[in-house]
Structures are given as C-alpha cells and as structure tokens.
Structure 1
Amino acid sequence: MQTSVKDGAWTVGAAPGALPVLGHSRQLRQDPLGFLSSLYEYGDIVAIRMGPTPLNVLCRHDLAHHLLVERSKDFGRGGPFLERSRTIMGNGLATSTGPEHMRQRRMSQPAFHSQHIKSYMQVMQEEADAMAGGWRPSQEVDIVKEMHDLTTRVTLRCFFTMSTSGSESAGTVNQAADSLDRLTAGMYKQMTAPLAILGKLPTAANRKYQEAVRQFDETVDRIIADQRSTTTRDDLLGLLMSARDEETGATFSDEELHDQVITFLAAGIDTTANTLAWALGLISQYPDVQQKFQAEIDSLLAGEDVSYDSIRSLTYINAILDETLRLYPPLWMLTRRALRDTTLGPHRFPEGTQFAVSPYALQRDPRVFEEPELFDPERRKRQPDIPRSSFIPFGAGVHKCIGDAFAITESTIALATIGRRWHLRLAPESNPLKPQTEMTLGPASVRVTLVPRAA
C-alpha cells in the first residue's frame, strides 16, 4: 500500500501504476470497477491519470456529499468522461452545467411531476403484460435483451406517444435500440482513451462508433419531426415543446430539443433496462429472496396490477431495487471540475482541477457496509444506521437524475408483473453474474429458464 499524506480530516494520495502518457488508462479499461474500489487504500482523495490528465477520486461518502451537495456551486460538471460524452449528448440536461443546466432543469421538471408519472403507469403496465404474457413455460429467456426491448417500448410510448405495434413504429423502436446498444458499447472506450485524438483516427472501431452516432441522431430527428404534426399532446416531448422558462419566457430551441430527446432516450432505455436485468438476475440467484418477493406480490396485489397508491406498500420490491442499485448503480462514475480556486478540508486545489466520484466504489465501501459484496434486500433492517449520503445511484445535489421516480415506478411495475406470473431459474452460463462496464453499468449476461407460477 502506498503511504498517503495525512493532513487534517481527509488524506490525499496517488494511485500507483501510472504509465507515461497512458496514465491509468490500462486499469480503467481492463478492470475499472476493481481499480476504483481499491483506491481508498491510498487515501481519501486519490489522484489517478486519464492519460496525461490528473483526476482526483473521492473515496469517502461524506467527502463526496460535501462536493456534490454542500459545495455544488464550487464544482461544476466536467472532466474527460463528460467532455467526450458530449459528442453524443450535446449540451442537454445530462451534460450541461451551471446556469444553463439550472434553466434546462427548471423547464424540464414539470414533465416529471407525479401527476405525469401516474399517467404513464398504464403504458408501463401494458408493455410489461405484453412481454411477460408472451413468454412460454420452460423457455430460456435473455433477460438483458428483454429488458432493453421493454424499456425502449415504454420510453417511446410515454415520452413520444409512439405506437410500438405498427411496422413503421416497430422499425423506429428497433433502430433506436440497436444504435443505442452500439453507442453504449463504444462510448466507454472513447471516454477512456488516453488521448482524445485517438477517438478521431479512421480505425474500424471508430468508424463503427461514428456510424452509430449518426444513426442515433437521425432516429432522434425523425421522432421529433414525426411528432411535430400532433398539436395537442401530454407526453414528455409535447411538454418539452411547450415548456417556457419562467424567468425569460423562452422555449427550447430545435438544437436544445434534439439534445434533450437524446438524453431522455439514453437515460430512459439503458439505465432502467440494466437495473431490471440486474434485479431479475439477483432474484433468480437467491431462492429466499425470490420466495419473499413473490409472497409480497401475492399478499399485497392479490392478482391486481400495481397502482400508484400501492407502489410504496411494496416494501420488499423497493428494498430489492435499493440493494440492486447499491451493488450495480447505472451511473457508476461522476466527474466534476473546480470552477474556482478552492479547498477540500485543508487541501487547496486550483481552478480547473478535475474530480471523480464512483457510486459503485462508495456503495461497496467495507468501512460503511457490512459484507458489502452480499446482495441483501434487508440490509437496512440489519444496518439501520447506514448514512443516506453513502447511497447515490442517481447522483446527488443539483445534478441528481431528474427521472429517478419514473425509473423506480417502471421497475416496480415490471418486477411485480414478472413475479406474479413466473418463477425464474438462473441459467448456468449466467452464474455468477458479471458486470459489463460501458457508458452505464449492465450485466454481461442474464439468461433464465421460466417456470410458470400456479394461478
């Protein structure tokens, strides 16, 4: 273990193993989760290198909370991960910062009000029923694919009033899902390249990635163009089109609308799909969890669909989702940049210094969580004093994910619908579950065999 420099409440250190020019790019590509989880051994603020760029990783939840929440005005979005993700996201809600982000969030927030989420629940239920009702006894199902298909359909219907049954709409669904899958597969390699220029070289991988970017952009433009012809809508796109800044009266420009649609497509499809795939894989891996999961569904729902009022009563499903998000947060890395000369504890950092927080690493910190690698939905009963600031799967502060309630609602409905009909047995090739580190954190494979539950 490298000795860290102790000075006050928080210590600073540097991770070993950086190479000239490349920095820690090799570790971040080969085993990013293991690398990030090991950093607390070297200090509370640990310097790593993204190529030649220094990045200070915060390895304590209280320090992360200090930066993300208490001192959010001193630290804006930034860093190599964010800058390179703008090649896809543009300057939408997921990538903007400062006053521009606050303006966009202020205009977008009404679309995620509880009354709108409540209105989306029927679509969520219809799509979950169609999926689970189409499965067959003894069928082996690719859960990763099924969940991506489900969340794509829900997102397009709830956000853009797009039917998923017609051939033309189905083509849009498939193209959106296909191009997004290729984007997420290639984006992490772009983000961890030691030099940004490497992503512009005319290699086969770069050409494939750029083609996926082009197709995704075209799909988004087609969705917007198709929807402009409808004059009265209460879907998310319609709400964004009619949104006005309460301070200036301005609406979203076409370019801003494009960037917001890309943001909500990526967030609405990929992150929720991965959370559901992880949750179902874990449920099928732990028989006692599956038994309690199904018992709650039978007891509280009694064959009925999930209602807006019943979501909070499904406490065990909520606990399953919490523990899934603790172990496998979709947003596994957040980056920030010092907006001015500043301090963290007694340590001084100049303007422009880059910082990172890994929810994945913080939520497995053995100093906070007993048996941190164990999937235990009843963890909070066993450890009631776990600090809330140690659980940040949706981020924290002014940049916390705007769609967290939408994602939890959709996930609850999907899990309850599947658990009511099917018992899941994890296929041997998916045991153990293995993460696949891309733009978001998903499982490499979750295949289950379906066993019908007694009516």
Structure 2
Amino acid sequence: MPTSVSRRQVVSTLFRDPMQALVDAANRADGQVVRLNLGTFRPYLVTDPEHLQHVLRDNAANYVRDGKGLLWRPVRRAVGEAILVTEGPQWESSRGVLQPLFTKPRLDTMVAELERAIGAAVDPLDADAAAGRPVRVDEMLTRIVCGATMRVLFADRISVPDAMRIVDALGTVATTMVSRFAVPFMPDRVPMPGDRAFDAAVRTIDAIVYPVIHDALREPGDGQDIVSALCRQRDVPLRRIRDDVVAMFSTATETTIAVLSWLWPVLARRPDVEERLTAESGATGAYTRCVIDELLRLWPAGWMIPRTAVAEEVLDGTRIRAGGTVLVSPYATQRLDALWERADEFDPDRWAAKRRHHRFAFFPFGGGPHQCLGQHLFLLEAPLIIATLLRRFRFRVEGPADLTPRLGASLRPKVPARVVLTPR
C-alpha cells in the first residue's frame, strides 16, 4: 500500500509554503511512494532515486508527458505541440532536428564566441557601476543570456531587445499559470486569475516569433541555428515550428537566468563563497563548478516534472493506476534529509568531497529520453557569466538577501535582488 499523505497535512502548508509542503511530504514518506490527498486530485509523489530511475528511464514509455493531462494543460496553452510536451513520432522528429545543435562537441567549439558575446553584453554595466546605479539581477542576467544565446543558437535572427521581451512574456506565462496548477481539474473554459495577462503574454511572443519564422521560411539556407533548422523541415505546420521555436528559446535562456538569479542573494549571505569564486577567476575552475552544482541542487529551474501512467503498474509495492498523475520533483529529492547531509544548507564543498550519489539523487535537468537539451549549454555558459562578472565588478546587494522561491513553471527568487556594482 502507498503511503498516504492526507489532505489536511498537505493543504495546511500548501498555500502558505508550497515548496516546503512538497519537501515535508517527501521526508515523511521516507523513500516510499506518496499518494497526496488533495480532494478530487490525488497524484503520486515519487522521490526515491531508484523509483525515479524506473519512472524517468527504465520504464519511461509507461510514464509519459501527457499534453492533455491535468498538470500539462497550462504548459500546452503556451507552447502547443512543442517538443517539451509531445511524445512519439512528433517528439522524435523535433528531437532529431534539434539535438545536433546542443551536443557537447558542437557547443565546445563555440566557447570563444560565447565568451565574446557575454563580454559584449556585460559592457553596458560599466556605466551603471560608474554612476552607482542599482541593477536588478534578473534584468542584468536576461540581457547577458539573451545577448549570448541569440548569437550562438539563433544567429541573431531575434534581436536582443526582442529576446528580452520574450523572456519577460515567458516570465508572465510562468507565474500566471500557477493558478491553474493549483486547481488542475478546472476546465480551460472557466476563467481564472491571470488568464488575461497570460493571453497577452502569448500574443507578445507570437508577434515577435512569427515574423522571424516567415523570414526563415522564405530563405532557410543552411544555417546551423535553431530557427533555420526547424524551418528546413518538410510538411511541418507553421504552428508546430512556432511551438518548437518558443520551447527552445525558453530552454536556451530560462535555466541560466533562473539558476544564476540565486547566486547573488547567496553571495550576500556567504562572502566567503564570493571570495573563493573571485580568487579562482576562471570559468573552468573546480570551485565554480561546485557552486553551480549546489545552486542546481537547491534551486533547480525545472522543479516539477509531471508524468501520466499509461498502464497500471506496481512500483515498490504501490499500485499506480492507469491514467494516474505521477509527480517527480528534483527540488524535493535534492533536499531529502535521507540523501543529503544538512540538506537545506548551501555548501559547495559537498561536491568537492567526491561522494558518490545515485544518478537520480541529483537530476536538475531531468533524466532518461527527455533529459533537457540545454544541459551542456548551461554548463558552458553559467561559469563564463560568473567569471566575467566577478572579474570585472564587486557586488553589494541592496537590502536583505531573500532566498524565498517564487512559485512558477520555473524557480526564481520571489523578490529579485538589486545590486550596486563597483569596478575592480
């Protein structure tokens, strides 16, 4: 029989602190599959690494990303039939087109270009530093990531200002869909708070993306950028190209922006970490990678991975019914007391100890056939951004350093940090 977490246990903290409610439920289950009792919605929470390996890799065909499923419907409203939500031949077709653009060998050849693009995107911060103007960390990171990503993956088909507008719109999408996540059984036809802002954000995205696609369709060429590659496909509807462009834009930008947005509040609390990062001063340094892994552990951008069971199955004594929703959460597993010593503490040195963890004890990019395409890009780009910024500036965070998560499709600080820069 599954461990059952009652509606009272979950709901009592769900609205006050939903992220902590998830972790508390996982810790109480102590490795067992949890049946969350949320009234008419009773998903299974799977957090044990062995169980996760089964769901995400070994028997992935039975645990699918059902675009019509309760928790996927809000995502589908934004990205339609994109690679992020589809399965089967359509997913295989899109993956086959896009995966070659994200391989580690290909991205490794672009490091110098990526570094130049990041440096150029950081240059405008000199004026802010000289004037003593506070800078919002999320806006700073958005400009840097868009400047680099539009160059190396989109061949400048999307301008940086337009890319920043898309990121802002995707942020609105990510936060306004939360109301539908909270009541996943609510039909789309029933109005919900945030629907108008959601629809306006989607219109903003479409107004930018569709003209770019039309230009590429007229002259697709042989470019190795995302838009060109998608537009060279034959007999693919325009809407599907649009959906994949938007999905890959999000994949290529959101993880880096979201994960690095936690770094500056952390550094405000841990000046020793900033001192060691600055002393290392290199993008390939071992300590920098330890810091990045710890950011990914505590605040994975993709904090929730819902799946739908195709056929009934018994998982470690728990009967998962066909059609049941299975919740997989890197955020919860990566904070389990049974897996991580001082699980809630930011400690980069835990990675230097070379302790071996189960493959699915730490999986910020998912796992199995649907592992995030942008993983290698992030692991190249994030260290370069950190090294470039800390080499050129000292940072002072204005006000208290807030590490409270903002609930959305991706995980960012609830209150964006503001920093004052000083040239080194």
Aligned letter for 2:385? A
- CA offset digits 1:8-37 (Å, max 9, x no partner): xxxx22222359xxxx67854542211100
The sequence identity of aligned pairs, in percent, is: 24
Aligned letter for 1:175? R
CA contact (8 A) 1:81 1:192 kept: no
Quickly say closer, same or farther: Cα 1:232–1:382, change in 2 above 3 A: closer
Which one is further off, 407-416 or 253-262? 253-262
Quickly say closer, same or farther: Cα 1:202–1:188, change in 2 above 3 A: closer
Distance in 2 (CA, whole Å) between partners of 1:346 and 1:195 is: 28
Which of 289, 305, 313 matches 1:334?
A: 305
Quickly say closer, same or farther: Cα 1:89–1:50, change in 2 above 3 A: farther
Work out whether 1:73 is the aligned partner of 2:61: yes
Which of 201, 205, 223 matches 1:212?
A: 201
2:243 matched to which residue of 1?
A: 259
- CA offset digits 1:83-104 (Å, max 9, x no partner): 3211111121111124432332
CA contact (8 A) 1:28 1:192 kept: no
CA contact (8 A) 1:281 1:433 kept: yes
What's the RMSD between the two structures over aligned residues? Answer: 2.5
Work out whether 1:143 is the aligned partner of 2:137: yes
Shift of 1:174: 4.1
- CA offset digits 1:184-217 (Å, max 9, x no partner): 22122222225322x5445663222212122222
- CA offset digits 1:214-272 (Å, max 9, x no partner): 222232212212333443422122223336xxxxxx66443321111010112222221
Aligned letter for 1:225? H
CA contact (8 A) 1:76 1:98 kept: no
Which of 170, 188, 197 matches 1:180?
A: 170
Which one is further off, 259-268 or 171-180? 171-180
Quickly say closer, same or farther: Cα 1:130–1:273, change in 2 above 3 A: same
Distance in 1 (CA, whole Å) between partners of 2:413 and 2:404 is: 6
Aligned positions of 1:397-408 closer than 5 A: 397-408=368-379
Work out whether 1:108 is the aligned partner of 2:95: no
TM-score (norm 1): 0.83
Shift of 1:436: 0.9
Aligned positions of 1:348-367 closer than 5 A: 348-367=319-338
Aligned letter for 1:425? R
2:271 matched to which residue of 1?
A: 287
Which of 53, 66, 83 matches 1:93?
A: 83
- CA offset digits 1:100-140 (Å, max 9, x no partner): 32332223211112343235434532342234332215442
Quickly say closer, same or farther: Cα 1:236–1:116, change in 2 above 3 A: farther
CA contact (8 A) 1:281 1:426 kept: yes
Which of 217, 221, 226 matches 2:210?
A: 221
Shift of 1:274: 0.8
1:157 matched to which residue of 2?
A: 151
CA contact (8 A) 1:51 1:194 kept: no
Stretches of structure 1 that go unaligned for 5 or more consecutive residues are 6-11, 244-249
Distance in 1 (CA, whole Å) between partners of 2:112 and 2:149 is: 13
**Secondary structure at 1:368's aligned position in 2?**
coil
Quickly say closer, same or farther: Cα 1:154–1:336, change in 2 above 3 A: same
Distance in 2 (CA, whole Å) between partners of 1:139 and 1:275 is: 24
CA contact (8 A) 2:49 2:359 kept: no
2:18 matched to which residue of 1?
A: 32
Shift of 1:356: 0.6
Aligned positions of 1:375-454 closer than 5 A: 375-382=346-353, 384-429=355-400, 431-444=401-414, 445-453=416-424
- CA offset digits 1:30-70 (Å, max 9, x no partner): 42211100112146211125662221001322221221112
**Secondary structure at 1:81's aligned position in 2?**
coil
Distance in 2 (CA, whole Å) between partners of 1:191 and 1:153 is: 32
Quickly say closer, same or farther: Cα 1:321–1:382, change in 2 above 3 A: same
Distance in 2 (CA, whole Å) between partners of 1:124 and 1:280 is: 22
- CA offset digits 1:327-381 (Å, max 9, x no partner): 0000100111111121212332232121011110100111111111111111023
Distance in 1 (CA, whole Å) between partners of 2:189 and 2:293 is: 39
CA contact (8 A) 2:216 2:231 kept: no
Which of 36, 51, 60 matches 1:63?
A: 51
Work out whether 1:195 is the aligned partner of 2:185: yes
Stretches of structure 2 that go unaligned for 5 or more consecutive residues are none
Aligned positions of 1:124-143 closer than 5 A: 124-135=114-125, 136-137=129-130, 138-143=132-137
Distance in 2 (CA, whole Å) between partners of 1:383 and 1:232 is: 44
Which one is further off, 56-65 or 46-55? 46-55
Quickly say closer, same or farther: Cα 1:370–1:224, change in 2 above 3 A: same
* Alignment size in residue pairs: 414
Aligned letter for 1:288? D
Distance in 1 (CA, whole Å) between partners of 2:11 and 2:76 is: 20
Distance in 2 (CA, whole Å) between partners of 1:29 and 1:216 is: 30
